[in-house]
Structure 1
Amino acid sequence: MMNAIVFSGVGETTYMKVPKPQIKKADEVLLKIEAASICGTDVHILSTPPSYPATQGIVQGHEFVGRVVEVGADVTSLKVGDRVVLDPNVFCGECYQCKKGNFNMCEEVYVLGITDNGGFAEYTVAPCKMCVKISEDLPAEVAIFAEPLTCVVSAVNKVRLLPGESVLVLGAGPIGLYFTMLLKANGAGKVIVSEVNPKRAEYALKAGADRVINPNEVDLVEEIMKETDGHGIDVVAEAVGTLIQTAIDCVRPKGKVVLFGMDSSMRPEVDQFKIVRNEIELYGSFIGLNTLPATVALMESGLIDLQQLITHKLPLKDFNIGLEAMRDGSALEVILYPESDENE
């Protein structure tokens, strides 16, 4: 048996004993969890009513770092002792979308920590194909960012930012801060972030923003036009899920907007005339597509400082403390460390 956080009902989790998982397929590996982190998706799963679907009774947690302790009969690319991060969105490889290479659109996908057992535990099992090896020198506190960061890397790849171009990031939650760091590292000239929370605004400046604008205090579009001599921003990253029209109003003619935030309850109006007349390029970006190895290389390079975003480090049993901090906005990155009974 092992300790785990189980999604036990609407808005509820239970810290409890569950059976230690076992390898059932030849392509799987058994991982001993080093660290896991609470994602905004976990908050949505545990809202009442839920704003993101998950399977009741599963071990939650889709962002984690682990060490291989056992391998299936067909596993050749990993061995016992290897450290890994992974993409929890397990694609089938056989459906129409997978055959076209669109693994992030898999029609039979299951997600570790959301629809199947994940990493808020001492151990978990994962398909080898979803794992990427990391070095012994990469701290777990950096590696833990692999899953959300690879999603943003995939989004940034779409816009193909040119050095010196201006950027606007809408929202300075964790995802918005990843966008800020990555676009700055990719050569953005001026990075502006829109954020209403003062604490998150501070983090945006630390992450590389040249200016943070509070849209509750000033007219964001007017300020953007002042900053760009009336031309508009070259690239806008929307990390909220409701601000597509704001992005369209701020971007220059023939500029680019990447939409990453998601809110299924909202149906914002969109000015199609402006999109067409100004030939604005819109990109939707969902999770990551073939970017995890590049993301690991980025983390191991030390090019961006991810550890500055860690606000809480907690034992797994204190999951609810971290969850509440995520809910009230006082947390950015909450890291959980599993503990066996011998260490408690």
Structure 2
Amino acid sequence: MQALEFDSKKKVLNITKKNIPEITDSHQVLVKVAYSGICGTDIHIIAGEFPCKDDSPVTMGHEFSGTVVKTGSDVTHVKVGDKVAVDPNNGCNVCYFCHSGSPHFCKIGGINNAVGIWRHGGWADYALVPDILVHLLPPTVSLKQGALSEPMSCVAHGWDRIAPVTVGQKILITGAGIIGNLWVIVLHLQGHRRVVVSEPNAQRRKIIEHLETGYECVAPEVLQERTKKDPNYLFDVIIDCSGSPAAIQSGFGLLNYGGKFCLFGVAPPHATVSISPFQLYAKEVTLYPVLVNPLTFPKSLGLLEALGDRYIDYEKLGIKTFKLSQYKEALDELAKGKIGKAVFEF
């Protein structure tokens, strides 16, 4: 089979030929990959800004869907031929955090042992994964849509953190990459209409128009101009999907009294922002950082089912598919902001 591997020591990606993995444990599932996404975290890994397996090359890809082709003898919840999506994260199940319902804080598991980052993942024709990570797709959710299960499960965790958000509140989303777009459709599905999206890239601003939500998408400088004209031009909820320290810092100035600020985008590890503690006190604002997807994969599948073809449309969301051999082209188009997301199609 073909696999796209990353060597963290040399910081290079290479397509290699490998044997199809063999089941060696009764709780393993062999998945024939159908679609596998490129995540912002993957780009940070390739740039050497995010840790990954470093003792040997790793097949990347932690967002993928596919078909079950073989199962271990103790696998009971899926069978050969089932259409599935794979959750890349699981805890050790014995530490304090796992027993407290927060497996994403697990020092052994969670992001520290994720499929496609520390274990071989879905940028390959086949992926061998533990059965605990395999989720059956709802009948109305296609494999193409199912490839968005992992990022949508992170959005579901973010929603759990900031809820309740009352219909009628003013909401600002900063960043119109794929995560910002997923937030847009989830908010629209739930009846929110007073939503503004801020995005510096003109091509990505057009993507928001294609989603047909009626949400306004403007350049960041437009928000600054409005604030100068009207000091009360403020938002009750701000969801940063950019990870940009500048966007985060300027966003705090747009937050209303009693507002909520969701830090969803992943900022560079050593980046800092300057925030006035007095403003935090005076406005009684609340910060909601969001880390991956603890126990939210079933919610993700429910969201995909509810959103359906009206919202989960690759063309409308700015998603482009590539062959695995086109990985350089995919990364280049992402870097230039020509597309919202790249997905490998097998």
With normalisation by structure 2, the TM-score equals: 0.90
Moved over 3 A (4+): none
2-structure distance, mates of 1:313, 1:279: 44
The verdict on how the C-alpha distance between 1:132 and 1:220 changes in structure 2, with shifts beyond 3 A counting, is farther
Deviation of residue 306 (structure 1)? Answer: 3.8
Match of 1:312 among 320, 324, 334: 320
Q: 1:94 — aligned with what? A: 94
Q: 1:116 — aligned with what? A: 119
1-structure distance, mates of 2:233, 2:340: 33
Deviation of residue 186 (structure 1)? Answer: 2.1
Within the alignment, does 1:185 sit opposite 2:183 as a pair?
A: no
Q: Any conservation in 2 of the 1:43–1:326 contact (CA below 8 Å)? A: no
Bigger drift between 314-323 and 129-138 goes to 129-138
With normalisation by structure 1, the TM-score equals: 0.91
Aligned length: 332
1-structure distance, mates of 2:286, 2:209: 27
Q: Any conservation in 1 of the 2:156–2:296 contact (CA below 8 Å)? A: yes
Deviation of residue 310 (structure 1)? Answer: 4.2
Instruction: List gaps (5 residues or longer) in structure 1.
Output: 339-344
Q: 2:329 — aligned with what? A: 321
Match of 2:291 among 286, 294, 300: 286
Q: 1:75 — aligned with what? A: 75
Within the alignment, does 1:210 sit opposite 2:215 as a pair?
A: yes
Q: 1:55 — aligned with what? A: 53
> What does the per-residue CA deviation read over 1:65-123, in whole Å, with 9 as the maximum and x for residues that have no partner?
01111112221111111111121013211111101110111111111111110001111
Match of 1:271 among 272, 276, 286: 276
Deviation of residue 292 (structure 1)? Answer: 1.2
Match of 2:160 among 153, 157, 160: 157
SS of the residue corresponding to residue 121 of structure 1 reads: coil
Match of 2:2, as an amino acid? N
Q: Any conservation in 2 of the 1:172–1:204 contact (CA below 8 Å)? A: yes
CA RMSD of aligned residues (A): 1.9
2-structure distance, mates of 1:167, 1:134: 31
Match of 1:51, as an amino acid? E
Q: 1:341 — aligned with what? A: none
Q: Any conservation in 2 of the 1:239–1:259 contact (CA below 8 Å)? A: yes
Match of 2:52, as an amino acid? A
Q: 1:333 — aligned with what? A: 341
> What does the per-residue CA deviation read over 1:246-295, in whole Å, with 9 as the maximum and x for residues that have no partner?
23211111111111112213111121111111111111111112221121
Match of 1:295 among 297, 300, 306: 300
1-structure distance, mates of 2:225, 2:37: 33
Within the alignment, does 1:19 sit opposite 2:19 as a pair?
A: yes
2-structure distance, mates of 1:198, 1:12: 31
1-structure distance, mates of 2:225, 2:161: 25
2-structure distance, mates of 1:220, 1:283: 27
The verdict on how the C-alpha distance between 1:278 and 1:107 changes in structure 2, with shifts beyond 3 A counting, is same
The verdict on how the C-alpha distance between 1:44 and 1:95 changes in structure 2, with shifts beyond 3 A counting, is same
Match of 1:284, as an amino acid? P
Identity %: 28
